[in-house]
């Protein structure tokens, strides 16, 4: 484990420059393909279009609401749940974004098209950046929750608005949005492996990431899964598995305690705000 905050920051900067620089140097602008909206399960029950793809968003709404309730409750104030109060804000953003993602995704799936997809992706990007900031605060330095939360959340929102704008101009560009969605999936496992934890609960976080990875696979296998028996599609299963992953984040917060990992005093002071 890398104990020096300076080395943690330096490594993360190298990874960021290498990964994003390589991606932006090699990838051209690419629009949202029209076939993206052609989901396998288009059944309608009780007048609800694409019923299962709509209703399978309920776990996002449920765990988002439960997460907000937890953050507002005395349970989240227990000693050790959050060592510093600034660490709470990324998770407020995460759970609010999660709840709105469930609503936005249900709205999109009731009428799949680019304009409705914007309202699915906007809270999703905000949710990603909230959680990513929380992990940065734990694994890199707690000051990340004070200095990076607003810029990263704004960047997440901007990535979706930029994509929406470029689509309306007839030259869709998903690169900013893909950066928001996929760069944390590269950076977080490296931080889990190399950076010391501020709290216990790494297993819950890892399980949540694995759920998200499985959800992305199911998304790609939407039609294949549905053709296996026409009971449920890969995309509906994606929502359910990703929803389970969000529940694991809530479980992590409810169970975690400070890890007791020592941090050199000089490094702790390095990023402390004036």
CATH code: domain of residue 206: 1.20.1070.10
* Position 86 in a domain: yes
* Position 33 in a domain: no
Q: Exposure string (b/e) for 43-65, b if CB count within 10 Å is 16 or more?
A: eeeeeeebbbbbebbebbbbbbe
Query: Which residue in 86, 58, 70, 102 sits closest to 253, CA to CA?
Result: 70
Q: How does pLDDT run across 55-64, given as a tens digit for each residue?
A: 999 999 999 9
* Position 110 in a domain: yes
Between CA 270 and CA 7 the distance in angstroms is 12
Give me the domain span that covers residue 113: 5-27+47-270
User: Are 129 and 180 spatial neighbours (Cβ–Cβ below 8 Å)?
Assistant: yes
* Position 226 in a domain: yes
Give me the number of domains the chain comprises.
1
Q: What is the pLDDT of residue 265?
A: 35
Sequence-separated (6 or more) residues with CB below 8 Å from residue 110: 48, 49, 50, 54, 116
* Position 40 in a domain: no
Q: Residue 67: pLDDT above 90? A: yes
Q: What is the pLDDT of residue 260?
A: 74
Q: What is the pLDDT of residue 271?
A: 45
Point out which residues pair with 45 in neighbouring strands.
48
* Position 116 in a domain: yes
Q: How does pLDDT run across 147-184, given as a tens digit for each residue?
A: 999 999 999 999 999 999 999 999 999 999 999 999 99
* Position 34 in a domain: no
* Position 194 in a domain: yes
């Amino acid at each position: 484990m890398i104990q020096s905050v300076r080395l943690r920051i330096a490594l993360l900067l190298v990874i960021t420059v290498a990964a994003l620089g390589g991606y932006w140097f090699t990838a051209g602008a690419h629009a949202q393909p029209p076939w993206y909206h052609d989901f396998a399960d288009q059944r309608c029950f009780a007048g609800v279009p694409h019923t299962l793809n709509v209703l399978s968003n309920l776990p996002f709404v449920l765990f988002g609401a439960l997460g907000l309730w937890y953050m507002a409750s005395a349970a989240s104030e227990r000693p050790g749940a959050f060592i510093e109060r600034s660490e709470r804000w990324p998770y407020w953003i995460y759970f609010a974004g999660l709840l709105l993602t469930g609503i936005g995704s249900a709205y999109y799936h009731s009428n799949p098209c680019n304009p409705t997809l914007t309202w699915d992706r906007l809270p999703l990007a905000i949710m990603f950046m909230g959680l990513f900031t929380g992990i940065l605060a734990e694994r890199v330095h707690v000051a990340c929750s004070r200095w990076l939360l607003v810029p990263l959340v704004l960047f997440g929102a901007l990535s979706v608005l930029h994509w929406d704008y470029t689509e309306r101009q007839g030259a869709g560009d998903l690169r900013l949005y893909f950066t928001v969605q996929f760069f944390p999936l590269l950076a977080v496992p490296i931080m889990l492996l190399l950076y010391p934890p501020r709290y216990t609960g790494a297993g819950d976080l890892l399980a949540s990431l694995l759920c998200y990875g499985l959800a992305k696979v199911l998304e790609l296998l939407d039609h294949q899964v549905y053709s296996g028996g026409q009971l449920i599609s890969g995309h509906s299963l994606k929502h359910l598995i990703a929803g389970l992953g969000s529940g694991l984040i809530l479980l992590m917060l409810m169970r975690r305690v400070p890890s007791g990992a020592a941090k050199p005093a000089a490094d702790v002071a390095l990023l402390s705000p004036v």
